[in-house]
Amino acid sequence: MYLIKKNDVKKIAKALEEKYTLYGPYLDEAFGQCFFDKVSADNIDLNAPIPANPPKHVVFPHLETIMQYKYDKNAKKADIAMVFDDVPKALFGLRSCDLTGLQCIDRFFLGQEFVDEVYRHHRSRMFIVANTCVVPFKQCFCVCTDSGPAAQEGYDLNLTDLGDSYLLEVGSEKGKAFIESFNFPKATQEHVTQKQKLVEKSITMFEDIATESKAWVSRVMNRVTTGFIKEEVWEYIGNQCIECGACSYVCPTCTCFNINDANTIAGNTERLRTWDSCSYEGYSRMAGGHNPRKPIEDRRNKRFFCKLSYSQSKKYLRPGCVGCGRCAWVCPGDIGLPNVVTYIRREIHE
Amino acid sequence: MSYMPGVCTFCGTGCGHYLKVDGTSVQGVFPSRVHPVSKGRLCVRGWNIHELLSTQERIIRPYVKDSGQVSYKDAIAKLVSALSLYKPEEIAFYASPRSSNEDNFALMKLARLVFKTNNISLQAESGHRNSLDVLYNGTGFAGMLGSLEDIRKAEVLIVAGMDITTQNPIIGSELHYAARSGSLLITIDSRMTKIAKLSKKFINCKPGTMRMVFDAIAYYIDKQQWGDTKSAHYEEYKKYLATVPFDSIEKETGVLPAEVAFVAERLIKAKSAAVFFSSGISGLSYDTVASIYNLFALAGKIGKEGCGVNPIAGINNLQGSFDMGCAPDLLTGYQSIDDATSKKKFEKKWGQELPTFKGKTVEQLLSDSSSPLKALVIVDHDDGIVKYADRLKSLPFVAYIGAFTNKVVDFAHVVLPITTYIETDGTFTNTERRVQLASQKCAPAFDVMPMWKLIDAIAEAKSIPFNYKSASDVMDEIASLTPAYEGISYTLLSKKHGVQWPCTKKNHDGTKYCVPEKVSFVLPHKPYAAVQATQEYPYLLMLGKAQHYWHQNNIMHKTFIPLREYNATLLLYPDGYVAIAPEDAKQIGVRDRWPVKVVAEKASMKAMVMISDDVAPGTAYVPYFIREGIASFLLAYSDIVSQGEEATIPVRIEKV
């Protein structure tokens, strides 16, 4: 536990910048939208609102080359090479919900029978500095999904804005080794107490829908898991879906992807991995034309089962939703997760 | 910090987005939350546009037939010498509604000033031109009267003959939102669509009778003396309305008189109302647009907040391309080439006389084998199937200018590559007249030129240089010649999410909704001519364009996920399909995906059957140019096909 002057936070970022490619929140110069992306230490804005884009794109890019091959027709021989991104990365100022999302993605790509080597290369040699949310943002509901406002695990360092200074917590051996060279003063129990109070106050500042009952989401989880939701509710939700895939793209925990081969002008072929979405009809279509989830409402059902069912919790040790609220912002049909929860709860109360 | 703001250039909605650019490659997309049109939303095309921009299926070097790959200089010299062999009447320019305003303006200038021809037109159906003509004749504005931001302010929303949620999904979602928030959403169509399912009222009319439906609503309003009779030409319009067969409206159109009365009443009572119809990929005839417009004029829903007669463009710069004068009879900003004052202004600015012969569209020239056409310059052809392939093959000279490979290249004697829209600056005007700047985001991935620069080089090779130093210079020239764009400049646009024209020097914020100085009724050209089914041809075949345009769109084929989603139907119906109602399928004796033969008076085709509840009994629906066989069938009916959404062909469907 260390106490850091606000001016000294940049020192940490600059030190990280020497060994890692630095990613952090910054405000777009043109229109002020917050992004989490490659950034220089000077441009990081720890007070910026939650980034519009999920930081998962650092380890799971929207479009990525994972393999290259060149087939020599005459020699009937193919040269194949895996493509890995081995650049060390530092995620600076990661919000707790996004950190939780990263853990979900870790468990999908690394925690099952087959390890995704492309993902592992992204993820190794990564340094994570989390940032506690002392004030929630308008669309957030991480208190409903046990994802915040303060990070619990998975970080190397964690920052909390105490007002006149930052409380710095160490979460890993790597973080400890890194921070010891700075000789920052130790924090006292009083500072820890101050952080706890700030977090508790933050929890009370969430939108009413998230605070009037923390069971707001969990009650719906029960319903989704047991399947006791009327067809009409899913049809209503499905009718509002325009199948854009935005909910999956902005979700910090979604791992849907597709694989394509693309020829290059140079003559070789690249195997590309792109984000995909269970919203799309083609996502679940099988060879031969059968589609088990052709109706839109079935795809919506599948999505929210993935986000809210207990079986997902058993598989990944936590709900599939981290409560960042991004899906509510980008959904053209107004069926981001909070609204869907509202529709289902409305049905429960009728 | 690699996310750069820009504009999506798939359809005419003009959504704002950010592109993640690394060097010369585009690796991701994100919506712009504060963009006034899209408000943080994108559709499946917009979310995956980086797949298109990352494609390697590019034209990367100039090419001359029989010479192979050559330098730009040599290719331009070949192009200029070839075009110089022919008279102006024998040359035509086929502009792309996907090109930027700067590119299209430069092309128009090249055609008229350098090669002295008025044969310049857009690769898009005539629908949008019909819309512009009606709106200009009625109000003096050649563009959407309303604003997309105002959708939520309208009490009544009408969608006419358009699958708007599929064609322009973000506009569709805005309508969905308004409907859920309490606006009355009415869909008038001959086929069930997604927007129809979410409408409070779906009025199902017989194919080809939409015009009569709108006139019947106007007739009812006029009869009840609820209408605004102060607009010009009211007396002539009243005489026209008297020809509406209201007493037999149900027999003629399939619409109940009570439904007509319902719409009429709600339209009059509402403080604000807006109508949306397709314009471009699948447009309406002049007379139908006139009927829609006249209804809104009569109902007093012109020139007020939340009101609008709104043609929706399916291609990103269709409105802008017409604004740039890519039509045989138009200069920029809908100024007529026959208007002496406008013509003189251009001649003074450009220093030379403009051609005076009556130009023709490329469609007209290609479809008429006796036309004098000998040389054709095509820009960025979008269709995956080449219409008029035989005619193109027979032309002495064809040139192609484009960024992506496609089938038209095979017909070209000279091929010139250009940049994609992120590799150069450019403006695009969306369906609501919003001029938006898409700034250059990276250096060209290959050694290719921006189109406006290429055009300048061609002009210079003819000793008439345009002397553009940047795309901004082109816009400055456009502004100097176009009253509606007078106040627009790159300096202004770089700080905003675009500006809706008219934008004058005194009105830098642009115009959200148009308030005409004078409103006139627009009289139709032709009497009613709805096609009827007969004993021999008992089904009315509708042609679907909007929903399936993207199947055969050339740039769609450069993507992965959008291609997969839009090709979904093709996988189930590889021979193309004709959609019919379950009752009709039973009568014909077929099941889903069975082969049938569709027989019309002048042509026939084979297709598979799709059985769908969306199609009413006695009607059939076939997608447009989805397969070669369907293309051949429709070419035999090109005069009917040109009617756009209302095209109807009586057919017989036989089991094979």
Give the torsion through C-alpha atoms of A130, A134, A136, A137, to 10 deg: -70
**Residue B470 pLDDT:** 95
Residues of chain B with pLDDT under 70: 125-126, 280-282, 545-552, 625-627
Say how far apart CA B316 and CA B498 lie, in whole Å.
14
AA identity, residue B274 = A
Which of A32, A61, A274 has the CB atom closest to B561's CB atom?
A: A274
Whether residues B27 and A63 touch (CB distance < 8 A) is answered with yes
**Which residues from B are below 8 Å from A57, CB to CB?**
20, 28
Which residues on adjacent β-strands are paired with residue A334? none
Length of chain B equals 656
Q: Which of B482, B481, B508 is nearest to B493 (CA)?
A: B508
**Residue A258 pLDDT:** 94
CA of B613 vs chain A CAs: smallest distance (Å): 14
**Residue B557 pLDDT:** 84
Whether residues A246 and B41 touch (CB distance < 8 A) is answered with yes
Retrieve residue B309's tokens. Answer: 């007669």
**SS3 sequence of A300-327:** HHHHHHHHHCHHHHHHHCCCCCCCCCHH
**Residue B549 pLDDT:** 67
CA of A193 vs chain B CAs: smallest distance (Å): 36
Our measurement of the distance from residue A111's CA atom to the centroid of its chain's CA atoms, rounded to an integer in Å, reads 17
For B590-609, how does the pLDDT look when each residue is reduced to its tens digit (9 = 90+)? Answer: 999 999 999 999 999 999 99
B171: contact with A, CB 8 A cutoff: no
Report the residue of chain A nearest B42, measured CA to CA: A244
Retrieve residue B577's tokens. Answer: 């399909």
Whether residues A282 and B561 touch (CB distance < 8 A) is answered with yes
**Residue B527 pLDDT:** 83
**Residue B142 pLDDT:** 95
Whether residues B177 and A263 touch (CB distance < 8 A) is answered with no
**Which residues from A are below 8 Å from B57, CB to CB?**
263
**SS3 sequence of B192-228:** CCHHHHCCCEEEECCCCCHHHHHHHHHHHHHHCCCCC
Whether residues B44 and A280 touch (CB distance < 8 A) is answered with yes
**Residue B548 pLDDT:** 61
- Residue B615 has φ and ψ, to the nearest 5°, of -105, 135
- Residue B439 has φ and ψ, to the nearest 5°, of -75, 155
ipTM score of complex: 0.93
**Residue B416 pLDDT:** 97
Report the residue of chain A nearest B38, measured CA to CA: A332
| Sheet strand arrangement including A269-275 | A77-82, A63-72, A269-275, A257-263
> Is the CB of residue B193 less than 8 Å from the CB of residue B201?
no
For A121-155, how does the pLDDT look when each residue is reduced to its tens digit (9 = 90+)? Answer: 999 999 999 999 999 988 899 988 889 899 999 99
Which of A30, A31, A240 has the CB atom closest to B176's CB atom?
A: A240
**Residue A209 pLDDT:** 66
**Residue B479 pLDDT:** 97
**Which residues from B are below 8 Å from A330, CB to CB?**
31, 40-42
Say how far apart CA A99 and CA B64 lie, in whole Å.
56
Which of B18, B40, B198 has the CB atom closest to A239's CB atom?
A: B198
Whether residues B44 and A244 touch (CB distance < 8 A) is answered with yes
Interface test with A, best of B44, B174, B559, B608 (most A CBs within 10 A): B44
**CA geometry: angle B427, B431, B432, nearest 5 deg:** 95
- Residue A22 has φ and ψ, to the nearest 5°, of -90, 130
Report the residue of chain A nearest B558, measured CA to CA: A262
**Residue B547 pLDDT:** 61
Say how far apart CA B322 and CA B142 lie, in whole Å.
9
For B420-464, how does the pLDDT look when each residue is reduced to its tens digit (9 = 90+)? Answer: 999 999 999 999 999 999 999 999 988 999 999 999 999 999 999
Whether residues A281 and B28 touch (CB distance < 8 A) is answered with no
Residue keyed to tokens 């910026």: A48
For A185-214, how does the pLDDT look when each residue is reduced to its tens digit (9 = 90+)? Answer: 999 999 999 999 999 999 888 887 666 656
Say how far apart CA B404 and CA B63 lie, in whole Å.
14
> Is the CB of residue A22 less than 8 Å from the CB of residue A39?
yes
Length of chain A equals 350
B56: contact with A, CB 8 A cutoff: yes
Burial class (CB in 10 A: 0-12, 13-18, 19+), B602: exposed
**Residue A314 pLDDT:** 85
For B357-411, how does the pLDDT look when each residue is reduced to its tens digit (9 = 90+)? Answer: 999 999 889 988 899 999 999 999 877 778 888 899 999 999 999 999 988 999 9
**Residue B526 pLDDT:** 86
**CA geometry: angle A294, A337, A314, nearest 5 deg:** 85
Q: Which residues contact B405 (CB under 8 A, 6 or more apart)?
A: B57, B58, B59
For A279-323, how does the pLDDT look when each residue is reduced to its tens digit (9 = 90+)? Answer: 999 999 988 888 999 899 999 999 999 999 988 888 888 989 999
Interface test with B, best of A236, A237, A299, A330 (most B CBs within 10 A): A330
**Which residues from A are below 8 Å from B32, CB to CB?**
31, 33
Q: Which residues contact B495 (CB under 8 A, 6 or more apart)?
A: none
Which of B172, B177, B572 has the CB atom closest to A289's CB atom?
A: B572
**CA geometry: angle B357, B362, B364, nearest 5 deg:** 85
> Is the CB of residue A266 less than 8 Å from the CB of residue A70?
no
Whether residues A243 and B54 touch (CB distance < 8 A) is answered with no
Under DSSP, the state recorded for B560 is: S
**Residue A349 pLDDT:** 66
**Which residues from B are below 8 Å from A329, CB to CB?**
33, 40
| Sheet strand arrangement including B499-500 | B426-429, B434-438, B499-500
